[in-house]
Amino acid sequence: MTTESADPKGATNDETDNTKEATEDVTITKFGSVSVKRSTPKPAADLPLDWTKLGKPDDDDDDNQHPEMPLRFPHDVTDNLQLTPDEIVLVGTAGLKITHLGNNLSNTCTDPHKLQRLVFRSHMIHKMEGLAAFTNLELLELYDNQIEELADLEVFASTLRTLDMSYNVIREISPVSCCENLTELYLANNKIKTMTGISTLTKLRKIDLGANRIRVIEELSNLIHLEELWLGKNKIEMIQGLETVCCVLKEFVII
């Protein structure tokens, strides 16, 4: 078998009819006396660079900034911000998605120490930052973003009850081990391979680790209050490690 680019100038007499139709975007592969023409795909030259890189981490950027996307902070979309003394909620829409939390996030509210619930859902946030002032946070939801790693959880580790980081690109969950009073943990649709880090969270009642890359069920022996465990759409090879929690589990999904 031989392969050559179609070029009418270099065609032999036997190939004249075939090469009349050939262009620079066609490749001819010979299987003995049979020639097969295949189209050669053109690069997507017309697509803007920022579109092709949207949501992809830049490995060459040490600061983990994403210059291909326009910078947008919470203070840029204050008209959509739902703000009360104990809650900040901002749900992204098609035209209003923030890319950074920023180090001045606490300036958004009058007293950050009184804030109990912080919700930034469906944005393009890549990094957990600006959380140091929220020392009494009970619920943190960064659902449906581009968060790459868990960070700064120790600031409100003793008060946090619910953590929802589903639909991100998180690979490690071990940083969550400091949140000893956590009762609900949602980390579905990430890139998590192991359950390492949850064994110390003895007050957990709900865990959602569905749609990840987990192969082994582990770290559950101390979770005597666990009621719901969601592990569907993983790569689990064997059901095990449920001996101490099976008597309290009300919901267990592994499909």
Residue 212's identity, in one-letter code, is N
Contacts of 220 (CB under 8 A, 6+ apart): 195, 198, 199, 226, 229, 241, 242, 244, 245
Phi, psi of 24 (to 5 degrees): -70, -10
pLDDT of residue 69: 67
Q: What is the mean pLDDT of residues 120-149?
A: 97
pLDDT band at 255 (very low <50, low <70, confident <90, very high): low
Which range among 54-63, 85-94, 114-123, 145-154 shows the weakest confidence by mean pLDDT?
A: 54-63
pLDDT, tens digit, for every residue of 65-106? 454 668 999 988 877 788 999 999 999 988 889 999 999 999
Q: Please provide the average confidence, as pLDDT, over all residues in the chain.
A: 80
pLDDT of residue 118: 97
Measured between alpha carbons, how far is 138 from 159 in angstroms, rounded to an integer? Answer: 5
Is residue 169 over pLDDT 90? Answer: yes
pTM: 0.73
Q: What is the mean pLDDT of residues 170-185?
A: 98
Q: What is the mean pLDDT of residues 19-23?
A: 40
pLDDT band at 112 (very low <50, low <70, confident <90, very high): very high
End-to-end CA distance of the chain: 46
Write down the H helix ranges in 39-96.
Answer: 49-52
Measured between alpha carbons, how far is 23 from 7 in angstroms, rounded to an integer? Answer: 7
Which range among 20-29, 189-198, 242-251 shows the weakest confidence by mean pLDDT?
A: 20-29
Residue 68 CB burial class (10 angstroms; 0-12, 13-18, ≥19): middle
Is residue 25 over pLDDT 60? Answer: no
Helix, strand, coil percent values for the chain (each to nearest 5): 15, 20, 65
